[in-house]
Chains A and B, each alone.
Chain A
């Protein structure tokens, strides 16, 4: 098989010679150390000029601020501080980011451009509705796409992120059950689910119980059926699941859940695998959140902001949160507390102050319009093709627990079975860093020992995948052989392995200015380097 047409050749560890000599500054050419803002800034420095204007403290009622102690930097120093810091980050712009269940795909810059159009970026959430018709239209158009792509009845746009969407769906379910006078107390969640699922159910006041998986990595339908009863409010399923597998019994699961008077929540984190090929609404789902920052490519931004609209079935739509947009004669209208009743809403209430993540809606719609119905279908196909390619080119060197049961969806899962004694997934992950790749998702889902969950996404070329596969094959072989050098990885990153135990045992969560005489005040002290 030809998997390296580019001619690129991996280096072997033996090509790396000796110790790296130290420099006076701690810098290593383009790898630049950067102190903390608090070590270089000053209370008297600022990077902002203001037009001359008399200042006043006239009407403050005497509540004057004294201590503040916020250092400033001039503009050039500010730009350099953050630019240097940025270069200590891995990013999708730099290379493959194969985090399973996270869908790190390319972030088109067109999306950034449209989000910054003044008509979207410089509009106040409480501006009179007649002055923001275009913003309401954008929300409505995106809503139509999401409803149509999922085959559902309606959508709640305001949830701020995936977990917030889960909460929204569960609250809608609880409100619907309460409305029919049927208080129930338990939500069933598979062990393989994201941690947010049980946490969201608990946040909504439910008791959480596990649903077991079968040997093929799917929900055990018989065990689920046996547990259903009058106390079960909902079942939360991730489909495709976090083992990267489609739940072939999904419709049967939904039917069983409905027959028992409960509702089906689907975690849509993995919608990228099926967008344009399968509509969750055809599988009997009542509520599903869509991570716009996954499937629809809004940037992850180092951990947010996300956006988690929730598509809802006809049974749940009356309970959707406020506010929402309706298209009416003469324009778009926001339905808020004042008019909810007259509009026929039985909403469970408001989840956030305003209308959701508008800045993410603009980006997601630009992405959706770019792809269109045909392109989105191709997205799912290429994402699944890339994942299966990774699965089949690695399964001889990494244990793939579900490989024999057929193709995977958008992500491939491996275990640490076969590694030499004392070697674990983390060693493989950290060695990937030295090879120039972000590691895969580690130790998740919990149902696979030492899980390595790899989601390449559709925006990776075959050449990139081939490089990654060669690197990972080499590392896997070293882990099987017990190569001790793996334990030292990463050695080429800005930092070696960090002491997370120390961080948790003696938390230093804010910078403490050292005492003026240079004596250590015992907290936030400098601990070498940096």
Chain B
């Protein structure tokens, strides 16, 4: 077996040193009735590298690859071009095969990367501090609601109808067990729910949670919601699932959001059928001790040299156990590295250009698709994603387009099954990766579905 260095001679010598007659003697604590006397039946035996590669390649071949077809899916996961050097760097063994940096003297590489990542995320989201990452955007969103509960000592959270329905589901799952009261609603094509959010704020409200841009792609000023929340002693949580947008549009922190969380996948990480992704989490400095997750901080070593360590760990489970701010133990370290490398390659200049290109393509595609007879664009400002109202149900249209090898968008019927008012909605995301030929193919396929 190619991953096991011990030879039979080694094994015999080692058993001799230990003073055991056989390997079985080392498993003596396992009750006899629970011991298996050979390989588990019904499972295949070991395979060569070539054979394993073949088996997995056969499965991979059954999937329609985003990069090989006209592709317009978004709704929380976006396809952007990732420079080749990003994957090269994250595959360096010193990053890939390192553990959590609990021994800082020999983990300065990871720790400095995390410190730089935290700074990049804080600046991008317009906040003072960020942590070293969470699992993904949806879990970061729930953690933010829990943090708002701890800060305000209130349990009422008002969730915008524009919040990703899967994020709402995650929050509902957890709230059932924690006692938080969630006020939720489904989106409407005709208006955003700013008025509902503001009207719903009471003295029991811990936070208002808005997504920006929202699940239908719309963007709006968060300032009035922030002001209303603050006036009642509640916090504003903003959720960003497409961070590339923040190269072009105002950051939630600049509009008064107290906690900004996000899905960082779109910078550096890739689609990967939903994971691993990288949760972004940023807030005000005064709330840092209520923040979940790992934090890297600057300090000095015994010779006075600058160095970095994991810090404020008295918030965390390995110290505080059941009193910790969260049960989270890992961060999404390697994905945070990928995000950080990609962000470093882009810089402000590249990010602004990338965002500008995304928006320009989206404006063009929105114009062309809404010119199809019967199709209209759901109103409001947008970045690189928008919602179309089709003259037919969008869900079958999506499947019909797949038959033509066009991945044309996410139907609201999939995200909101049973909501008749949304059944004709198709959410279309347009990034720098599309081509004119892709747009032609989508236009033709969609026109046929709507004819």
A131 part of interface (Cβ distance < 8 Å):
yes
Nearest to A113 among chain B residues (CB) is B53
> B67 — which chain A residues lie within 8 A by C-beta?
118, 122
CA distance A389 to B6 in the complex (A): 12
Please tell me if the beta carbons of A124 and B79 are within 8 angstroms of each other in the complex: yes
B residues 26-54 in Cβ contact with A at 8 Å: 26-31, 33-36, 38-40, 42-47, 49, 51-53
Please tell me if the beta carbons of B36 and A439 are within 8 angstroms of each other in the complex: no
> B341 — which chain A residues lie within 8 A by C-beta?
78, 82
Please tell me if the beta carbons of B26 and A354 are within 8 angstroms of each other in the complex: no
Also in contact, A127 and B64, with CB within 8 A (given A360-B276, A407-B26): yes
Please tell me if the beta carbons of A86 and B363 are within 8 angstroms of each other in the complex: no
State the interface size on chain A (CB cutoff 8 A): 213
A residues 1-33 in Cβ contact with B at 8 Å: 1-3
- In angstroms, how far is the closest chain B Cβ from the Cβ of A50? 5
> B250 — which chain A residues lie within 8 A by C-beta?
63-66
Interface centre among B13, B29, B83 (most CB of A within 10 A): B29
- In angstroms, how far is the closest chain A Cβ from the Cβ of B303? 5
Interface centre among A55, A62, A499, A529 (most CB of B within 10 A): A55
Please tell me if the beta carbons of B99 and A124 are within 8 angstroms of each other in the complex: no
A415 part of interface (Cβ distance < 8 Å):
no
Nearest to B34 among chain A residues (CB) is A282
Please tell me if the beta carbons of A503 and B309 are within 8 angstroms of each other in the complex: yes
CA distance A360 to B298 in the complex (A): 31
CA distance A201 to B173 in the complex (A): 15
Nearest to B323 among chain A residues (CB) is A202
Please tell me if the beta carbons of B322 and A305 are within 8 angstroms of each other in the complex: no
B191 part of interface (Cβ distance < 8 Å):
no
- Partner among A60, A123, A133, A135 whose Cβ is within 8 Å of the Cβ of B359: A60
Please tell me if the beta carbons of A125 and B77 are within 8 angstroms of each other in the complex: yes
Please tell me if the beta carbons of B311 and A503 are within 8 angstroms of each other in the complex: yes
B348 part of interface (Cβ distance < 8 Å):
yes
A223 part of interface (Cβ distance < 8 Å):
no
Please tell me if the beta carbons of A171 and B177 are within 8 angstroms of each other in the complex: yes
CA distance A38 to B382 in the complex (A): 31
Interface residues as binary, A43-59 with B (CB distance below 8 Å gives 1, 0 otherwise): 11111101001111111
Please tell me if the beta carbons of A509 and B417 are within 8 angstroms of each other in the complex: no
> A406 — which chain B residues lie within 8 A by C-beta?
28-29
- In angstroms, how far is the closest chain A Cβ from the Cβ of B434? 11
Interface centre among A360, A490, A496 (most CB of B within 10 A): A496
> B73 — which chain A residues lie within 8 A by C-beta?
124, 126-127
Interface residues as binary, B89-133 with A (CB distance below 8 Å gives 1, 0 otherwise): 111111111111101111111101101101110111010111011
> B128 — which chain A residues lie within 8 A by C-beta?
510
CA distance A69 to B246 in the complex (A): 12
- Partner among B59, B221, B324, B347 whose Cβ is within 8 Å of the Cβ of A70: B347
**Partner-contacting stretch, out of B17-25, B182-190, B203-211:** B17-25
> B317 — which chain A residues lie within 8 A by C-beta?
163, 195-196, 198-199
Please tell me if the beta carbons of A59 and B337 are within 8 angstroms of each other in the complex: no
A residues 317-369 in Cβ contact with B at 8 Å: 321-322, 337-338, 348-360, 362, 365-366, 369
B residues 278-305 in Cβ contact with A at 8 Å: 278, 288, 294-305
Please tell me if the beta carbons of B14 and A462 are within 8 angstroms of each other in the complex: yes
Please tell me if the beta carbons of A278 and B34 are within 8 angstroms of each other in the complex: yes
A167 part of interface (Cβ distance < 8 Å):
yes
Also in contact, A502 and B417, with CB within 8 A (given A82-B341, A370-B47): no
**Partner-contacting stretch, out of B154-162, B224-232, B350-358, B437-445:** B350-358
Please tell me if the beta carbons of A63 and B381 are within 8 angstroms of each other in the complex: yes
CA distance A384 to B418 in the complex (A): 54
> B166 — which chain A residues lie within 8 A by C-beta?
350, 352-354
Please tell me if the beta carbons of A407 and B25 are within 8 angstroms of each other in the complex: yes
Interface centre among A99, A198, A409, A444 (most CB of B within 10 A): A198
> B123 — which chain A residues lie within 8 A by C-beta?
68-70, 510
Please tell me if the beta carbons of A121 and B357 are within 8 angstroms of each other in the complex: no
CA distance A356 to B273 in the complex (A): 9
Please tell me if the beta carbons of B2 and A81 are within 8 angstroms of each other in the complex: no
B219 part of interface (Cβ distance < 8 Å):
yes
- In angstroms, how far is the closest chain B Cβ from the Cβ of A38? 7
- In angstroms, how far is the closest chain A Cβ from the Cβ of B413? 9
Interface SS majority for chain A = loop
CA distance A433 to B102 in the complex (A): 13
Interface residues as binary, B298-322 with A (CB distance below 8 Å gives 1, 0 otherwise): 1111111111110111101111111
Nearest to A458 among chain B residues (CB) is B4
Please tell me if the beta carbons of A41 and B344 are within 8 angstroms of each other in the complex: yes
Please tell me if the beta carbons of B326 and A199 are within 8 angstroms of each other in the complex: yes
Please tell me if the beta carbons of A60 and B219 are within 8 angstroms of each other in the complex: yes
Also in contact, A370 and B323, with CB within 8 A (given A119-B59, A353-B274): no
Please tell me if the beta carbons of A106 and B3 are within 8 angstroms of each other in the complex: yes
> B28 — which chain A residues lie within 8 A by C-beta?
406-407
- In angstroms, how far is the closest chain B Cβ from the Cβ of A295? 13
- Partner among B3, B248, B302, B414 whose Cβ is within 8 Å of the Cβ of A126: B414
Please tell me if the beta carbons of A392 and B18 are within 8 angstroms of each other in the complex: yes
Nearest to A207 among chain B residues (CB) is B322
- Partner among A353, A499, A530 whose Cβ is within 8 Å of the Cβ of B170: A353
- Partner among A1, A71, A107 whose Cβ is within 8 Å of the Cβ of B348: A71
**Partner-contacting stretch, out of A243-251, A417-425, A476-484:** A243-251
Please tell me if the beta carbons of B96 and A88 are within 8 angstroms of each other in the complex: no
Please tell me if the beta carbons of B98 and A300 are within 8 angstroms of each other in the complex: yes
Please tell me if the beta carbons of B306 and A529 are within 8 angstroms of each other in the complex: yes
A527 part of interface (Cβ distance < 8 Å):
yes
- In angstroms, how far is the closest chain A Cβ from the Cβ of B342? 8
Interface centre among A63, A75, A461 (most CB of B within 10 A): A63
Please tell me if the beta carbons of A500 and B39 are within 8 angstroms of each other in the complex: no
B193 part of interface (Cβ distance < 8 Å):
no
Interface centre among A202, A297, A301, A438 (most CB of B within 10 A): A301
> A57 — which chain B residues lie within 8 A by C-beta?
248, 356, 359
CA distance A19 to B76 in the complex (A): 56
Please tell me if the beta carbons of B347 and A43 are within 8 angstroms of each other in the complex: yes
A residues 121-166 in Cβ contact with B at 8 Å: 121-128, 130-135, 137-138, 141, 145, 148-149, 160-164, 166
> B136 — which chain A residues lie within 8 A by C-beta?
160, 352-354
Nearest to A252 among chain B residues (CB) is B31
A524 part of interface (Cβ distance < 8 Å):
yes
CA distance A82 to B410 in the complex (A): 37
Please tell me if the beta carbons of A371 and B1 are within 8 angstroms of each other in the complex: yes
Please tell me if the beta carbons of A279 and B399 are within 8 angstroms of each other in the complex: no
Nearest to A187 among chain B residues (CB) is B322
A377 part of interface (Cβ distance < 8 Å):
yes
Also in contact, A195 and B309, with CB within 8 A (given A50-B354, A370-B49): no
- Partner among A43, A164, A372, A461 whose Cβ is within 8 Å of the Cβ of B47: A372
CA distance A302 to B99 in the complex (A): 4
- In angstroms, how far is the closest chain B Cβ from the Cβ of A147? 11
A222 part of interface (Cβ distance < 8 Å):
no
- In angstroms, how far is the closest chain A Cβ from the Cβ of B166? 4
Please tell me if the beta carbons of B272 and A373 are within 8 angstroms of each other in the complex: no
- In angstroms, how far is the closest chain B Cβ from the Cβ of A475? 15
- In angstroms, how far is the closest chain A Cβ from the Cβ of B121? 9
> A474 — which chain B residues lie within 8 A by C-beta?
none
> A287 — which chain B residues lie within 8 A by C-beta?
none
Nearest to B403 among chain A residues (CB) is A130
Nearest to B52 among chain A residues (CB) is A369
Also in contact, A89 and B349, with CB within 8 A (given A499-B299, A502-B300): no
Also in contact, A369 and B47, with CB within 8 A (given A97-B99, A117-B60, A353-B138): yes
9 new A-B contacts, CB < 8 A, other than A135-B273, A276-B40, A382-B11, are: A89-B94, A114-B52, A119-B57, A301-B90, A304-B332, A352-B166, A359-B275, A370-B49, A496-B301
Shortest beta-carbon contacts, A-B, top 3? A72-B347, A354-B274, A119-B60
26 of the cross-chain contacts (CB-CB < 8 Å) are A37-B116, A70-B120, A71-B347, A88-B107, A117-B56, A118-B67, A119-B61, A124-B66, A130-B402, A131-B63, A131-B64, A134-B63, A195-B321, A246-B29, A300-B98, A351-B139, A353-B170, A353-B263, A359-B275, A385-B15, A407-B26, A433-B105, A460-B5, A503-B309, A510-B122, A510-B129
